[in-house]
Structure 1
Amino acid sequence: MADRTGSARRPARDRATPPATGPLGAVAARIEAATPAGRDRGADALRALAIAGVVTGHWLVTAWTPGTGGTVRVSSPLAYMPWLTPVSWVLQTLAVFFFVGGYAAERSLRSAAGYGVWARARMRRLLRPVGPPVLVWAGAAAGLALGGMPVGSVRSLVQPTAGPLWFLAVFAALTAATPLLRAAPLAVAGSAAAVVLTTDVIRFGPGGPSWPGWVNVVAGWLVPYALGVAWARGALASRRAAAGLLAAGAAGTAALVVWAGYPASMVGVTGAKVSNLGPPTLAVVCFGIAQTGLALLVREPLARLARRPRVWAAVALVNLSAMTVFLWHQTVLAAAALAALRFGGVPGLVETPTGPAWLAHRLAWLPLLAVLLTLVALVTRAGGRFRGGRTAEG
């Protein structure tokens, strides 16, 4: 079987796959056998890590503080424990997702029968998973409001679950615009960074309005996306280019935080005057550039690791359910918090995140949240099956 880039499936004798042992080994062997030889396993592994980072990060920085009469408000542990800020440097991986997204879109467009067919297929895969979580939370919000929960508490529970929709809207828009980026993707990335710089100067200047910053919602994420298109078209192939992106992005981020007053956290913090993500700032764009450089440097080691059948099975399955996982992960957390409200608060779920005890409690909940999210992904994919290793390039 050939993948969408025209690569033939690798013969079984060339895979050097160890014999499968047990049910998990058998599943891994089937996925390995169904994977085309041309799969870029390094890119797929990067995308899986990006999804894992976003999910884990959101689960660690989203908290609810209980109030009187069963009320609740959303809060952030970073507001109480700023020493956790370096965690945001590790787990804020949205730029990597956009970077691999641009790479994947360009790779698939190259072999598509036509833009219309390609765009419809991409939009269908991106937007199809949206309906169920939207319906679930529309019904839940209505039910909670009718049940007497204050509007503010309903908003605090629903708002984090709706957050992923902005990401999907921007990602879909950039995907649709991929053909416009192909001629000069590096120039597009540089121009988008200049737009972010300009809007930041305007909105952070004396008496500057805040609304121009929302231009950065598109321009900020266009930078890594365009870099991904450039990567797919053969640019950024050298280690020198990757190291340059890492060094320049890291230096720019450090300079903006230390000397320009940008927040050190790469995620929003409840109550903070400025968020690096809402909307994206020049600091988070520089940080994303550093992440793309690092991603290019680790791609080959990740590709070698992903040649192990069990590792590849995990990577492939995460990629296949990427949109489902992204759209549902905050719903799983919010549903757990809603259940905890029946008890007036549960450590790590509905509890003011004031110290290390909260962090320990939340970490203890992560395995259960992961199991629940896996069950959601399995249910939403019921009746489906692995098809030809269609992951980051598909």
Structure 2
Amino acid sequence: MSGLTAVALVVVILERWLFTAFATTDQVRVTSLFTALPPWAPAGWLLHLALVVLCFAAGHARATAPWPAGQVVRPVVTFLVAWGGGLVVLLANGFSRDAVLQILDAALGPLTCLIPYLPLWAVPYLAGLAWGRGRPGPELLPPGSRLVVLINRFALPLFLWHPTALVLAALATARLGPIAGLNDSPTGPLWLLARLAWLPVLATVLIGLVALARRR
């Protein structure tokens, strides 16, 4: 199941990075590629299934190898404290209430899957829990793969911080003006190609955030 967790997490991160944009012209505005290309919207719903799979895999992992409470609580507390500071910075820099709410809604979204009493995400989580207690799950990648082990080791921080990496990249470049695929509004397929080119930058920012949070 570790391979399934790794694949699902990567798909969840890519779905957010490829189709969500923080346009920084005037005030920050959260938008989506599906706004520019409505016929592509069903693809977004299909990719959202990866989040269901991720919750399922989390439930399975919880059943087969219970996590120490600190491995969950500490990253979440660090994340919330950091965004508490981020909120102060946003307000101090004159961001409108609407812009701040949009940013927080996107950045804090990963917490949804961590609240298993929410019925929508409790279903796949509990299904994975039951599956894990009944029998081992299938592997999509070799469980001993170095990459799989690494992703699973940092799965929670990666999941928590991946929208923040996108927010930081957009805000850090706002003064440079609209940059295709990074801090502008999606316009179509060419925008998606430009965003693909920025994925290494977003990955670098995410790795930096996870490393910084781990030191706290």
Q: TM-score, normalising length from structure 1?
A: 0.50
Q: Which of 139, 142, 145 is equivalent to 1:306? A: 142
Which runs of no fewer than 5 residues in structure 2 stay unpaired? none
Cα offset, 1:225, TM superposition: 2.2
Cα distance in structure 2, aligned partners of 1:345 and 1:143: 22
- Partner residue in 2 for 1:84: 40
| 1:74 match | 30
Match of 2:99 in 1: 153
One-letter amino acid matched to 1:333: L
CA deviation after TM superposition for structure 1 residue 382, in Å: 5.0
Whichever structure has more helix as a proportion of its residues is: 2
Encode CA deviations 1:172-212: one digit per residue, 9 max, x unaligned.
x5xxxxxxxxxxxxxxxxxxxxxxxxxxxxxxxxxxxxxxx
1:61 Cα deviation after fit:
2.2
Match of residue 126 from structure 2: 226
Task: Give 2:82's match in structure 1, choosing from 104, 125, 136.
Answer: 136
Displacement after TM superposition at 1:76 (Å): 1.1
Deviations 1:15-70 (A, max 9, x none): xxxxxxxxxxxxxxxxxxxxxxxxxxxx0000111111111111122112344xx3
Which residue of 311, 314, 321 maps to 2:154?
A: 321
Q: Which has the larger radius of gyration?
A: 1
1:215-244: per-residue Cα shift (whole Å, max 9, x none)?
xxx222232223223322336x8xxxxxxx
Q: Does 1:63 align with 2:21?
A: yes
Equivalent residue, structure 1, for 2:191: 358
Contact 1:51 1:326 in 2 (8 A): yes
Hey, what's the Cα distance between the residues in 2 that align with 1:90 and 1:75? 17
Q: Secondary structure at the match of 1:75?
A: strand
Q: Could you tell me which amino acid in structure 1 is paired with residue 89 of structure 2?
A: G
CA distance in structure 2 between the aligned counterparts of 1:376 and 1:66, rounded to whole angstroms: 21
Q: CA 1:99/1:367 → structure 2, altered by over 3 Å: closer, same or farther?
A: same
For 1:1-394, list aligned pairs within 5 A.
43-67=1-25, 70-88=26-44, 89-90=46-47, 92-108=49-65, 122-170=68-116, 173=117, 218-234=118-134, 299-300=138-139, 302=140, 305-306=141-142, 312-382=145-215
Unmatched 5+ stretches in structure 1:
1-42, 110-120, 174-217, 238-295, 384-394
Helix, strand or coil at the partner of 2:176: coil
Shift in alpha-carbon separation, 1:167–1:219, aligned structure 2, 3 A: same
- Give the conservation status (yes or no) of the 8 Å contact 1:126–1:168: no
Distance 2:183 2:97 in 1: 18
Moved over 6 A (4+): none
Partner of 1:251: none
Asked whether the 8 Å contact 1:126–1:323 carries over to 2, the reply is: yes
Specify the alignment match of 1:200 in structure 2: none
What is the aligned length?
Answer: 215
| Matched residue SS, 1:361 | helix
* Secondary structure at the counterpart of residue 93 of structure 1: helix
**Separation in 1, partners of 2:48, 2:11:** 4
CA distance, structure 2, for counterparts of residue 140 and residue 351 of structure 1:
22
Residue type at the aligned position of 2:37? M
What secondary structure, in the 3-state scheme, does the structure 1 residue paired with 2:29 have?
A: strand
Q: Any conservation in 1 of the 2:55–2:113 contact (CA below 8 Å)? A: no
- Using a 3 Å threshold, how does the CA distance of structure 1 residues 46 and 57 change in structure 2: closer, same or farther? same
Q: Name the amino acid aligned to 1:64.
A: F
Write the distance in 1 (CA, Å) between the matches of 2:214 and 2:54: 22
How far apart are the structure 1 equivalents of 2:90 and 2:61? 41
Q: Please state whether the residue corresponding to 1:346 is helix, strand or coil.
A: coil
TM-score normalized with structure 2 length? 0.87
CA distance in 2, matches of 1:90, 1:143: 33
CA offset at residue 366 of structure 1?
0.7
Q: 2:150, 2:215 → 1: CA distance?
A: 14
1: CA distance, partners of 2:122 / 2:79: 26
Q: Is the 8 A contact 1:55 1:329 kept in 2?
A: yes
> What does the per-residue CA deviation read over 1:310-367, in whole Å, with 9 as the maximum and x for residues that have no partner?
xx11001111101110111111110011012112322112212121221111111111
Identity among equivalent pairs (%): 36
The alpha-carbon deviation at position 83 of structure 1 amounts to 3.3
> Distance between the aligned counterparts of 1:132 and 1:230, measured in 2?
30
